[in-house]
Structure 1
Amino acid sequence: VDAGHGTAPPHFKLTLLGMRHFPLPRPRISLLLILLLVAVAHGALLSRRIQLRLGQGHPPAHWRHSSARNVFASAVPNDMQTEAIKSEDCAVLVLASAGTGKTRVLRTRMAYLLLKRQVPSERILAVTFSQHAAQQLQARVGAVAGSAVEGAWLGTFHSLCGRMLREHHELLSLPPDFSVVSESKQLEILREVLVAHRSTLQRRRGVQPLITGKLVAETMSVILRWKERGLTAEQLSAEGSRSTSHAEEFARAVYGAYQRTLFRRGFLDFSDMALGATQLLREHPQVLAKYRAQFDHVLVDELQDTSAVQYEWLKLICRPHSDSCGACIDDSIDAAATFAASPSTRFAAPRAPLWSAAARAHGACVFCAADDDQSIYGWRGADRANVLRFLSDFANARVIRMSKSYRCSPHVLGVAQAVLSPAPSLFAKLSYSTKREADSPRVLLNAFWDSAQEAEWLARQMLLP
């Protein structure tokens, strides 16, 4: 409560729980104190609830030790979600359209393993696409499982691969305190390398190249794409392929020098995380054996957004080097294509339950959530075909389709399916909404001259009462 600046008699402006300021006649001081105390108490209670919701602090003991089926009591899982959460198969692929709850299933699955199956947290590896998703997974599962989640390897591909590299830095001749270089520093280093190799580039092109910001950025983009495909400078030099653009030719000429400059200065870039960790596992069998023995369960969110090198890292950890997993033996390219063509097809081959010794003898059990129609990071190396590769590499994987959307209205789903229908989807899908069509707003189609006009229109819509 603070004094206003109106005319006499004095007024007060009262703000409670985000309400607008409004004038009040001067009340008794005792009444103001009571209102303040109520507001503080309410705010403290609200803050506590928010903390528990986000997984901060320690929830009550009866929350931490409740049954796994009550993990997130805000909504009871439907039949397909429950089937995924409690699946006993060695390899599971959850194919889920937008709003069907695949991320919720993933975190409930993790809580189920911790609380119901009593899997030690250090035996679980959970991989997400973004840092925000990793924080949400840690918070939501931690709010239920409490200290049971501590010790799990949980993070993004970059953070988990970086952790492996720090644990075994000496095997790749990396400094123990290496840093991840920023994007601006990357471009600065690459520009230096291009300038230093200008004579080499001149011999390749016949003229001295002009090192512009655009050329540096395009060359960096080519190098990062190669890294996401798992290609090192040595492999590209051995291939000797003909370059299709100036940027690709320059990238081929300076890729090795760029890497050596990074290492010399104690840097790695983000793409080096997965590339280096994959190299570590391939070249050092004892390290690969260590991680295969360490993890019983691997959980992966947004499989469609993984790059080739990230998927290879995942496969190395989950599968024996001989690729002789008893639950995964099959010539499955044709089987995967058959399944993709029909939403109702299920593999009929027998599967080894994940709790059986036979299944665990072949490596970690893997549980992936994906939607190939939501793959939007191809520009930075993501390959949605990894979803099909999963069915090829884990031939007898259990595929669970979730089609009931809780987030999207019937109108949104209808438009999305119409837009996607001519697109080359990897899997046939048919989603439906739980919302009433009559209660849902129609989809509005607008055209804008540029992004500024679009942003202005969006801002106006958000400011509407």
Structure 2
Amino acid sequence: MERMQEDLLSGSPYDGPHGSPWADPGAATGPDAVLAGLDPEQRAVATALHGPVCVLAGAGTGKTRAITHRIAYGVRSGVYHPQQVLAVTFTARAAGEMRGRLRQLGADGVQARTFHAAALRQLQYFWPRAVGGPVPQLLERKVQLVAEAAGRCGLRVQRTELRDLTAEIEWAKVTQTAPEDYPAAVAKSGREVPRDPAETAQVYRVYEETKSRRGTIDFEDVLLLTAAILEDRPDIADQVRSQYRHFTVDEYQDVSPLQQRLLDQWTGPDGGASLCVVGDASQTIYSFTGATPDYLLNFRGRHPGATVVKLVRDYRSTPQVVHLANGLLAQARGEAARHRLELVSQREAGPEPVYTEYEDEPTEAETTARRIKELLAAGVRASEIAVLFRTNGQSEVYEQALADLGVPYQLKGAERFFERPEVRDAGVLLRGAARAASDPLTDGAPDLA
């Protein structure tokens, strides 16, 4: 959240790029040098400068390389003016990486941002003119306000339930579902919900009322309000569209209806002529938040005559791993499965993957830790061993298993479980309680304050 806030709340609406450097040999020479080192499909993406363009890119196929080289080739060949290019993606980290690559490719001035960051900058810039007065304060954490709304509704909500309730409100907002329509929308979608839809709708309504009364907005409101201003004010929409004329959308399979609504306003009625989208329906991971691969799958239907390029050369994994992944995806069903990409590894052969089922997660973690200790004892470097898990919340059981065996580890992308403030505080309390319980002189319950 802090990274997102820093990206959202700094700078002017049209400031220049910044990010980590990413060296490229073509940065100091002519435009054709940008194409050096690209495979045939990546080159086809880079040279398709006029939209609509749809890039179907499997995992590890160099999609970021392809789209950054496309933007850089367009800028350095004079087809694109850098200040008229907007590239949007889903995380501040991905946007920063894209800015760094574009800068090293000689495409200074191109904007690469998250949907929320780009929308907030425009909202801050146009709010005084479109609405008047200061921009409403942005909520850093909506969960606290959701808890207050639940309390006003007379509901007792546990901490884990509160997170689920907040997620439901976010789903409703990105799918553009009003509180009164939430129960029907849930029934129609067939999604599993954490509590009675009528109760959730009530909390959602009170949350929105409280937020409005206090003059605050949440991250979903940033997208909604920006889209609404562009819809209601043609003069402002024209100004935005004259500023940005070329759009690239990364991870397009994870676009939500609300984000697509904003994108449609950015591009305008003829936006397909300057739009490039990149994605893979098999990599959709945010459907639980309201995202849908339908916009990617139906792109050619919405934009007849679109250029479609498939990136299938996998540079990340061995043939054995790619073969296993292809086999798993082949068993999937549905619209996304019909459009799956058959990847081809570009790496040398490696060992066959081994997979084992366990009764529960602690057993899996303990067995994994023992295997890691055996590998280290056999001389395998620790830097060549990794444990991958889906969410940060799963790290605890693996950290405990490794710690029990005295195996040192590094946690990437999150704070170690036992170093998190709330966990340290709980440990202090538990140790104090244990000492008090073992002290025969203790009279009554320990003081845990």
Is the structural similarity TM-score above 0.5? Answer: yes
Q: Identify the residue that residue 259 of structure 2 maps to in structure 1.
A: 310
Q: Aligned equivalents of 1:64 and 1:101: distance in 2?
A: 18
Residue among 53, 56, 62 paired with 1:101:
62
Q: Identify the residue that residue 255 of structure 1 maps to in structure 2.
A: 204
Q: 1:112 to 1:319 in 2, by over 3 A?
A: same
> Any conservation in 2 of the 1:124–1:295 contact (CA below 8 Å)?
yes
> Any conservation in 2 of the 1:180–1:268 contact (CA below 8 Å)?
yes
Q: Identify the residue that residue 281 of structure 2 maps to in structure 1.
A: 372
The answer to whether residue 23 in structure 2 is matched with residue 77 in structure 1 is no
Q: 1:382 to 1:53 in 2, by over 3 A?
A: closer
- Secondary structure in 2 matching 1:98: coil
Q: 1:423 to 1:172 in 2, by over 3 A?
A: farther
Q: Identify the residue that residue 26 of structure 1 maps to in structure 2.
A: none
Q: 1:124 to 1:448 in 2, by over 3 A?
A: same
The answer to whether residue 107 in structure 2 is matched with residue 195 in structure 1 is no
Q: Identify the residue that residue 351 of structure 2 maps to in structure 1.
A: 441
Q: Aligned equivalents of 2:87 and 2:41: distance in 1?
A: 21
Q: Identify the residue that residue 159 of structure 2 maps to in structure 1.
A: 213
| One-letter code aligned to 1:166 | Q
Cα deviation, residue 135, structure 1? 0.7
Counterparts of 1:34-49 in structure 2, within 5 Å, are: none
Aligned CA RMSD, in angstroms, stands at 3.0
Q: 1:367 to 1:54 in 2, by over 3 A?
A: same
> Any conservation in 2 of the 1:296–1:363 contact (CA below 8 Å)?
no
Q: 1:382 to 1:221 in 2, by over 3 A?
A: same
TM-score by length of 2: 0.70
Q: 1:91 to 1:449 in 2, by over 3 A?
A: same
Q: Identify the residue that residue 217 of structure 2 maps to in structure 1.
A: 268
Residue among 112, 130, 140 paired with 1:181:
140
Q: 1:296 to 1:262 in 2, by over 3 A?
A: same
Q: Identify the residue that residue 169 of structure 1 maps to in structure 2.
A: 127
Cα deviation, residue 255, structure 1? 2.3
Residue among 319, 323, 337 paired with 1:410:
319
Q: Aligned equivalents of 1:290 and 1:188: distance in 2?
A: 37
Q: Aligned equivalents of 2:81 and 2:330: distance in 1?
A: 44
Q: Which runs of 5+ in 1 are unaligned?
A: 1-51, 199-208, 326-361
| One-letter code aligned to 1:387 | L
- Secondary structure in 2 matching 1:149: coil
Q: Aligned equivalents of 1:243 and 1:302: distance in 2?
A: 26
Structure possessing the higher radius of gyration over alpha carbons: 1
Cα deviation, residue 108, structure 1? 0.8
Q: Identify the residue that residue 441 of structure 2 maps to in structure 1.
A: none
The answer to whether residue 37 in structure 2 is matched with residue 68 in structure 1 is no
| One-letter code aligned to 2:125 | E
> Any conservation in 2 of the 1:277–1:313 contact (CA below 8 Å)?
yes
Q: Aligned equivalents of 1:243 and 1:427: distance in 2?
A: 27
| One-letter code aligned to 1:181 | E
Work out the percentage of aligned pairs sharing the same amino acid. Answer: 25
Q: Identify the residue that residue 243 of structure 2 maps to in structure 1.
A: 294
The one-character-per-residue Cα deviations of 1:203-237 (angstroms, maximum 9, x if unpaired) are xxxxxx4343344333322211011112344xx45
| One-letter code aligned to 1:110 | I
| One-letter code aligned to 2:217 | L
> Any conservation in 1 of the 2:313–2:343 contact (CA below 8 Å)?
yes
| One-letter code aligned to 2:255 | T
